[in-house]
């Protein structure tokens, strides 16, 4: 069985390669789809003919498309994403400084979503078609229908402007605090590692509103899937047979049913992460969060195509990696995956 | 086996109600019977009889909208119908255990067999850790599983249906239950597996004094193992008797109908119903010299290695579904095809109907080699209408969106000559009459029809263009026994009326015996024996055929 | 073909479904309301949505301007109403395109299998490898800010969902015996797929359509919020919220609340509509 699992995992890893290749092709073709000469775009509006030619040679734009693609991949392998027009820095360094900010936000938002929506889904499933169930479903659907930017603005209005509970939305940390020594890049974790509780709380309080905004949009799919897969599991023949054999209801619900229900749940979490990565961009704009999302928005305004391309690529790579991890977890947890299909 | 005097379980005047949208429905009315130690009681009935509901109520396993309205359930002197949750949890699995149909789906798919057993033991109070391992192995031995290490660490999907059912029985024995309720435990299993499971249960009854309620629709199975018979119809008991009296003295018309319809007890299809069918007036068709269809060397292999440009070699695991069959079918005759699951019956029928291409071999139909024509091209071929099929699953074989009229008209429109609206309507109505389908059902959708009606629609559609060869793939296995009787008579009638040839695939050997003149026995892709039905069934030559014939439940009237 | 069993029209069935389930009634009415506003808004809105009048800028909601006025003095109510046409139009067109292409590709992939299936799934997987909003951003950024590009981008990112669902549904149905029966009755593979199998996949597909439409609106609004796609001074819910975002911190909440709420209500009613539409299409729910 172990050997089967190991081969399956290896096969999944292999399967990810053509996907990554496709991702590279698409992000490459994004900029090649621009009308006109890409070199002009990359060199920027201030460039003169000489620098445009330089850019042209650097990117291999005078050669064939295939050569350009290979050059592109080679550059990526060296961490070379191009120059950002709007900030003057290399896109690679911008992305790497800003990525931890976005990740901290997204992961915390996912965490908040999970700890609320899973119990909600289980509760709904245990009492289907009662008023509790209907209430949960309506709340959850309402949450899913709300545009992220709207809920972000609204939460900010209520909790900052009216109630004054939340700090002003100007970024990750208030001016009076220094950012903690860099270990992971996550301010909250780094502050804890540095035993600096004040900074930790400050970072956390800046983080809460944007994370809750993100969590709101992730609630619905997770709660819905938890509910339906729990209902399917609870209705299944093996749970009924377990009941007939006298197995206690808590064991039936939390061991038998929940274990079986957690498999489709894993897949939904992967899907939700995609929504969150996209929603990240909007939340970062609303809360002025200095992550890759706001970097991309500034790049859009400035027609900074190298930056846009780098942004799209990095988000895709993150997403593919997460889905791969989920696939592997799924393979490990579902014993049926060892079999010849 | 000594039977004690006080009954172990007694049901008195039981009535069960269900809350539905249209009000309260009394599903079970005034049911009373007793079960003694060391006894096997058959609870017999067709769908809707209330037999399962009665059994489920013993352990209070009814759906939320079901409730016990009247009556008592007394187990060992304890009133079970009034039991609180604590007592119920004690009784369930420990005193009274239950096994179900479809054993693979009643085991948790992501838990190992050993874990199932230890869950059971731990729930019912087994204290120490080391005991459980030994106890688990002992239980598996008791249900005749000897490959203990493999089975203990296996997941349900890795075991066969028969094995899973044994594991379920082991779960029932785990806490030395005194009563076992078995809800159609062998339906869907091979005849040989069925026999071994029932023998196991029988042994447990004799050796441990287990008391069993066997819920079944199969009277011939019940007759071989059961001591007491309770027959239910529409929620009520219509007949109750011990075995010696049951077969000779049953008086209720429903019981008599069931007994007649049970294939094991009749010699011919005509005897399955009380009223003699009309087709007896038609003569048996005379079989000519020339066969209608000749099959030589028919072979189907799945998963053969294909040339691959991938750097690592694909391990080839070819699965030989059909190894090479030779047989013929003559016009007007019915040939039976029997075999266990995985024997290649379905693959053979798919190749005969040209839904699939054979890997090798020849099929000569009416003088033309139809294997030369690809399955794709055969759809347009004039011979398409000559080979048709009646399917096993009455629900799945009818498009849920089409009404009866459209379903029957489909082949007429696609394969028949150009036809105008009026003639089409006439033809469809004639066909409906021919299969005994009332005309006011013609606009109904499949989910509004009963099992028997759906089967008739399937038959009407198949014979619409009077095909020369009709392949019937377990056409009645999903039907109640009394409905099956009428459908089998319909098939006989059509064969004589229209001069059709049948290839009748079934696992029910009694039915095959009644219907077919010749029989083919398949095992693991090969035809191991073929010949005239009476010959093969009474004097089997091949070992497999012998084991099949021995496994058929024969009715024993005397204990 | 005898069609006498189609006794009830679509409207009759809708009426029946609405009467049985209050949620259906609510979602159908809301949906109808939005369609009505989208089609007729330009005839009855009180003010010109594009005309600015800085003297009455940033007025709170009052009797004259029910939703207040924005920073250029334009009536928020009129702008929100007229935006309905744009947003609903984007949603309908994008979903229509992705439905047609996605279900065709997915059904054929499931039915014919082989290399065809592998390629289609691979392409779908690659599109799905991108967080969808990010991909839409990339597409619109590159193709240019215009209405049609927003529609194309939204359609492209939704196609893989239809491919997946159509493929899953057809795979389920493909092994059922009525498919074999259809082939035996002389239906070609293409006809069996489109006429026999596909209609049985509709119930689940139709639920996806309604959730998708809600999604498409959110997507388009999100894009215009960050400055892509439809640009001001066009009235679109996302643009309205973006314009109002600068003012909410100083307390002018009506600029964000009204367009945002109307947007949310639209998506909400689309999400609720899913189950009703599925009941409409499911033969087993016929009276």
Q: Are B519 and B537 in contact (CB under 8 A)?
A: yes
Closest CA to A105 of A268, A312, A292, A267: A292
CA–CA min distance B472, chain C (Å): 12
Closest CA to B117 of A245, A338, A254, A248: A245
Helices (H), B353-416: 375-378, 404-415
Q: Which residue of B has its CA nearest to C283?
A: B401
Q: Which residue of B has its CA nearest to A339?
A: B158
pLDDT at position A310 is 87
**Which of B302, B380, B409, B410 to probe by mutation at the C interface, max C CB count within 10 Å?**
B410
Residue C222 has its nearest CB partner, among A282, A309, A316, at A282
Of A81-85, A134-138, B497-501, the poorest mean pLDDT is in A81-85
pLDDT at position B342 is 76
Determine the average pLDDT of the residues in C251-267. 89
Neighboring chains of A (3 or more beta-carbon pairs < 8 A): B, C
pLDDT at position C6 is 47
Buried b (16+ CB within 10 A) or exposed e, A176-185: ebeebeeeeb
pLDDT at position B311 is 52
Helix axes A91-126, A258-287, angle to 10 degrees: 130
CA–CA min distance C113, chain B (Å): 15
How big is chain A by its Cα radius of gyration, in Å? 24
Closest CA to B197 of B231, B225, B155: B225
CA A49 – CA B418 distance, rounded (Å):
75
The CA-CA-CA angle for residues B371, B373, B378, to 5°, reads: 115
Q: Are B459 and B492 in contact (CB under 8 A)?
A: no
Beta bridge partners of B389: B471
What is the residue-averaged pLDDT of chain C? 86
| CA neighbours closer than 13 Å in the CB half-sphere of residue B86 | 0
Determine the average pLDDT of the residues in B349-375. 89
CA–CA min distance A172, chain C (Å): 18
| pLDDT tier for residue C265 given thresholds of 50, 70 and 90 | very high
Of A148-157, B104-113, B410-419, the poorest mean pLDDT is in B104-113
How many Å is the maximal CA-CA distance in chain A? 83
Beta bridge partners of B387: B469
Residues B210-241: tens digit of each pLDDT: 899 999 888 888 888 999 999 999 899 998 99
What is the residue-averaged pLDDT of chain B? 86
- Return the HEC string of chain C: CCCCCCCCCHHHHHHHHHHHCHHHHHHHHHHHHHHHHHHHHHHHCCCCCCCCCHHHCCCCCCCCCCCCECCCCCEHHHHHHHHHHHHHHHHHHHHHHHHHHHHHHHHHHHHHCHHHHHHHHHHHHHHHCCCHHHHHHHHHHHHCCCHHHHHHHHHHHHHHHHHHHHHHHHHHHHCCHHHHHHHHCCCCHHHHHHHHHHHHHHHHHHHHHHHHHHHHHHHHHHHHHCCCCCCCCCCCHHHHHHHHHHHHCCCCCHHHHHHHHHHHHHHHHHHHHHHHHHHHHCHHHCC
> Where exactly are the structural domains of chain B?
9-261, 280-292+332-359+373-551
Beta bridge partners of B242: B228
* Residue C287 clears pLDDT 50, i.e. is over it: no
Measured torsion, CA atoms of residues C142, C148, C153, C156, in degrees rounded to the nearest 10: -130
Determine the average pLDDT of the residues in B12-28. 87
* Residue B513 clears pLDDT 90, i.e. is over it: no
Residue C268: count of CB within 10 angstroms of its CB: 21
Taking CA atoms, B496 is separated from A16, B286, B456, B531, C168, in Å, by 62, 10, 17, 22, 44
Determine the average pLDDT of the residues in B168-177. 84
Residues in chain C closer than 8 A to B392 (CB atoms): 177
The CA-CA-CA angle for residues B543, B546, B547, to 5°, reads: 90
Residues in chain C closer than 8 A to A296 (CB atoms): 137
Q: Which of A9-23, B126-140, B293-307, C80-94 has the highest mean pLDDT?
A: C80-94
Residues in chain C closer than 8 A to A27 (CB atoms): 138
pLDDT at position C286 is 54
Residues in chain B closer than 8 A to A262 (CB atoms): none
pLDDT at position C1 is 37
Determine the average pLDDT of the residues in B277-303. 84
CA–CA min distance A341, chain C (Å): 15
Residues in chain C closer than 8 A to B400 (CB atoms): 178, 200, 283-284
The answer for residues whose C-beta is within 8 angstroms of residue C222's C-beta and 6 or more apart is: A147, A148, A149, A278, A282, C133, C238
The complex scores an ipTM of 0.83
* Residue A21 clears pLDDT 70, i.e. is over it: yes
pLDDT at position B85 is 83
Residues C29-55: tens digit of each pLDDT: 899 999 999 999 888 888 888 888 888
Residues 168-227, chain C: which have Cβ within 8 Å of B? 176-178, 180-189, 196, 199-200
pLDDT at position A1 is 60
The answer for residues whose C-beta is within 8 angstroms of residue B204's C-beta and 6 or more apart is: B142, B169, B173, B180, B210
CA B258 – CA B334 distance, rounded (Å):
25
Tokens found for residue C2: 């005898």
| pLDDT tier for residue C285 given thresholds of 50, 70 and 90 | low
Q: Which residue of A has its CA nearest to C119?
A: A18
> Where exactly are the structural domains of chain C?
2-41+77-230+257-285
* Residue B74 clears pLDDT 70, i.e. is over it: yes
Give the H/E segment covering residue B335.
strand B334-338
| pLDDT tier for residue B510 given thresholds of 50, 70 and 90 | confident
The CA-CA-CA angle for residues A304, A309, A312, to 5°, reads: 125
In which order are the strands placed within the sheet that holds B469-473?
A: B387-390, B469-473, B501-505, B334-338, B518-523, B526-532
CA A224 – CA A261 distance, rounded (Å):
12
Determine contact: B123 vs chain A, CB below 8 A: yes
Across the interface, do A260 and B108 touch by the CB < 8 Å criterion? Answer: yes
Determine contact: B350 vs chain A, CB below 8 A: no
Neighboring chains of C (3 or more beta-carbon pairs < 8 A): A, B
Residue A19 has its nearest CB partner, among C126, C238, C245, at C126
Of A86-95, B355-364, B464-473, C70-79, the poorest mean pLDDT is in A86-95
CA–CA min distance A213, chain C (Å): 14
pLDDT at position C25 is 84
| pLDDT tier for residue C208 given thresholds of 50, 70 and 90 | confident
Across the interface, do B97 and A240 touch by the CB < 8 Å criterion? Answer: no
CA–CA min distance A33, chain C (Å): 7
| pLDDT tier for residue C2 given thresholds of 50, 70 and 90 | very low
CA C122 – CA C128 distance, rounded (Å):
10
Q: What is the CATH number of domain C2-41+77-230+257-285?
A: 1.10.3720.10
* Residue C5 clears pLDDT 50, i.e. is over it: no
Q: What percentage of residues in chain C have a pLDDT greater than 90?
A: 34
Residue A127: count of CB within 10 angstroms of its CB: 11
Fold of B9-261: Rossmann fold (3.40.50)
* Residue A170 clears pLDDT 80, i.e. is over it: no
A-C contacts (CB, under 8 Å) = 152
Give the H/E segment covering residue B424.
helix B421-434
pLDDT at position B426 is 94
Architecture of B280-292+332-359+373-551 per CATH?
Answer: 3-Layer(aba) Sandwich (3.40)
CA B231 – CA B34 distance, rounded (Å):
14
pLDDT at position B427 is 93
| First-residue to last-residue Cα distance in chain A | 15
Residue A322: count of CB within 10 angstroms of its CB: 17
CA C120 – CA C117 distance, rounded (Å):
5
């Amino acid at each position: 069985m172990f050997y089967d699992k190991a081969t399956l995992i290896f096969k999944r890893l292999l399967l990810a390669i053509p996907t990554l290749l496709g991702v590279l092709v698409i992000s490459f073709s994004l900029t090649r789809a621009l009308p006109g000469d890409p070199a002009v775009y990359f060199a920027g509006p201030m460039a003169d003919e000489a620098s445009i030619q330089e850019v042209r040679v650097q990117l291999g734009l005078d050669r064939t498309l295939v050569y350009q693609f290979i050059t592109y991949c080679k550059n990526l392998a060296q961490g070379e994403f191009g120059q950002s027009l709007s900030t003057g820095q290399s896109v690679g360094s911008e992305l790497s400084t800003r990525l931890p900010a976005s990740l901290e936000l997204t992961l915390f938002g996912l965490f908040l979503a999970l700890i609320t929506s899973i119990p909600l889904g289980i509760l709904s499933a245990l009492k289907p078609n009662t008023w509790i169930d209907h209430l949960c479903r309506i709340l959850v659907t309402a949450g899913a229908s709300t545009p992220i930017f709207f809920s972000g603005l609204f939460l900010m209005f209520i909790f900052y402007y009216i109630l004054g509970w939340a700090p002003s939305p100007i970024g990750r940390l208030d001016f009076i605090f220094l950012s903690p020594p860099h270990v992971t890049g996550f301010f909250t974790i780094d502050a804890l590692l540095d035993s600096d509780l004040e900074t930790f709380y400050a970072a956390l309080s800046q983080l809460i509103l944007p994370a809750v905004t993100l969590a709101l949009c992730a609630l619905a799919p997770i709660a819905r899937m938890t509910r339906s897969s729990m209902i399917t599991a609870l209705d299944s023949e093996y749970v009924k047979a377990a009941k007939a054999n006298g197995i206690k209801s808590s064991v039936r619900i939390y061991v038998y049913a929940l274990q079986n229900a957690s498999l489709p749940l894993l897949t939904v979490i992967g899907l939700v992460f995609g929504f969150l990565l996209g929603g990240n961009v909007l939340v970062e704009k609303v809360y002025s969060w200095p992550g890759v999302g706001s970097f991309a928005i500034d790049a859009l305004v400035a027609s900074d195509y190298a930056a846009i391309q780098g942004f799209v690529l990095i988000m895709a790579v993150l997403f593919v990696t997460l889905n791969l991890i989920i696939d592997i977890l799924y393979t490990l947890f579902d014993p049926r995956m060892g079999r010849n299909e | 086996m000594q039977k004690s005097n006080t009954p172990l379980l007694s049901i008195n005047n039981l009535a069960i109600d269900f809350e539905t949208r249209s009000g309260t429905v009394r599903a079970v009315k005034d049911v009373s019977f007793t079960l003694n130690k060391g006894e096997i009681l058959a609870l017999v009935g067709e769908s809707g009889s209330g037999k399962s509901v009665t059994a489920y109520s013993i352990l209070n396993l009814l759906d939320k909208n079901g409730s016990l309205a009247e009556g008592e359930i007394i187990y060992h002197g304890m009133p079970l119908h009034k039991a609180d949750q604590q007592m119920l949890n004690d009784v369930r699995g420990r005193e009274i255990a239950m096994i179900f149909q479809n054993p693979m789906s009643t085991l948790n798919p992501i838990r190992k067999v050993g874990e199932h057993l230890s869950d059971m033991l731990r729930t019912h109070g087994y204290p120490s850790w080391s005991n459980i391992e030994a106890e688990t192995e002992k239980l598996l031995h008791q249900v005749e599983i000897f490959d203990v290490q493999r089975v203990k660490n296996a997941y349900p999907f890795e075991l066969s249906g028969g094995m899973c059912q044994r594991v379920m029985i082991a779960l029932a024995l785990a806490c030395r239950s005194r009563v076992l309720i078995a809800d159609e435990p062998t339906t869907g299993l091979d005849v040989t597996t069925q026999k071994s499971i029932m023998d196991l249960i029988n042994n447990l009854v004799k050796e441990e004094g287990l008391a069993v309620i066997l819920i079944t629709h199969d009277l011939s199975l019940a007759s071989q193992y059961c001591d007491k018979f309770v027959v239910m119809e529409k929620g009520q008991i219509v007949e109750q008797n011990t075995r010696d009296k049951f077969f000779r003295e049953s008086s209720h018309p429903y019981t008599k109908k069931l007994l007649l319809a049970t294939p094991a007890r009749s010699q011919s299809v005509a005897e399955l119903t009380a009223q003699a069918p009309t087709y007896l007036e038609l003569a048996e068709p005379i079989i000519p010299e020339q066969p209608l269809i000749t099959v030589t060397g028919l072979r189907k292999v799945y998963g053969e290695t294909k040339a691959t440009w991938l750097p690592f070699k694909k391990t080839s695991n070819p699965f030989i579904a059909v190894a090479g069959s030779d047989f013929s079918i003559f016009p007007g005759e019915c040939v039976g095809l029997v075999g266990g699951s995985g024997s290649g019956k379905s693959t053979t029928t798919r190749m005969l109907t040209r839904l699939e291409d054979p890997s090798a071999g020849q099929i000569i139909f009416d003088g033309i080699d139809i294997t030369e024509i690809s399955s794709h091209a055969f759809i347009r071929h004039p011979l398409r209408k000559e080979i048709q099929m009646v399917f096993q699953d009455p629900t799945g074989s009818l498009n849920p969106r089409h009404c009866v009229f459209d379903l029957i008209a489909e082949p007429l429109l696609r394969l028949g000559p150009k036809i105008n609206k009026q003639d089409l309507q006439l033809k469809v109505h004639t066909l409906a009459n021919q299969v005994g389908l009332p005309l006011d059902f013609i606009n109904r959708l499949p989910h509004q029809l009963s099992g028997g009606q759906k089967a008739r629609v399937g038959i009407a559609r198949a014979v619409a263009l009077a095909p020369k060869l009709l392949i019937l793939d377990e056409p009645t296995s999903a039907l109640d026994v009394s409905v099956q009787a009428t459908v089998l008579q319909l098939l006989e009638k059509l064969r004589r009326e229209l001069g059709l040839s049948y290839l009748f695939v079934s696992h029910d050997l009694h039915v095959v015996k009644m219907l077919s003149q010749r029989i083919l026995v398949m095992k693991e892709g090969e035809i191991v024996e073929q010949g005239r039905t009476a010959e093969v069934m009474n004097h089997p030559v091949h070992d497999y055929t012998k084991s099949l014939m021995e496994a058929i439940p024969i009715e024993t009237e005397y204990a | 073909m005898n069609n006498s069993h189609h006794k009830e029209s679509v409207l009759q069935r809708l009426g029946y479904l609405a009467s049985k389930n209050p949620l259906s009634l609510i979602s159908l009415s809301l949906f109808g309301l939005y369609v009505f506003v989208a089609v007729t808004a330009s005839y009855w809105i009180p003010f010109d949505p594009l005309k600015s009048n800085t003297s009455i800028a940033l007025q709170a909601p009052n009797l004259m301007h029910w939703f207040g006025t924005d920073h250029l003095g334009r009536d928020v109510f009129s702008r929100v109403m007229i935006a309905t046409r744009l947003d609903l139009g984007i949603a309908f067109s994008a979903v229509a395109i992705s439905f047609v292409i996605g279900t065709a590709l997915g059904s054929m992939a499931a039915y014919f299998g082989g290399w065809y299936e592998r390629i289609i799934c691979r392409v779908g997987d690659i599109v799905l490898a991108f967080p969808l909003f990010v991909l839409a951003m990339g597409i619109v950024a590159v193709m240019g800010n215009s209405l049609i590009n927003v529609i194309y981008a939204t359609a492209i990112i939704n196609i893989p969902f239809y491919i997946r669902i159509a493929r899953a549904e057809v795979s389920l149905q493909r092994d059922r015996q009525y498919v074999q029966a259809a082939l035996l009755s002389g239906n070609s593979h293409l006809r069996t797929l489109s006429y026999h199998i596909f209609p049985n996949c509709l119930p689940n597909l139709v639920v996806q359509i309604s959730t998708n439409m809600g999604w498409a609106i959110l997507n388009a609004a999100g894009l215009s919020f960050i400055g892509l796609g439809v640009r001001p001074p066009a009235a679109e819910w996302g643009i309205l919220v973006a314009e109002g975002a600068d003012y909410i911190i100083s307390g002018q909440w009506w600029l964000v609340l009204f367009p945002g709420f109307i947007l949310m209500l639209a998506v909400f009613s689309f999400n609720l509509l899913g189950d009703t539409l599925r009941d409409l299409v499911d033969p087993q729910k016929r009276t």
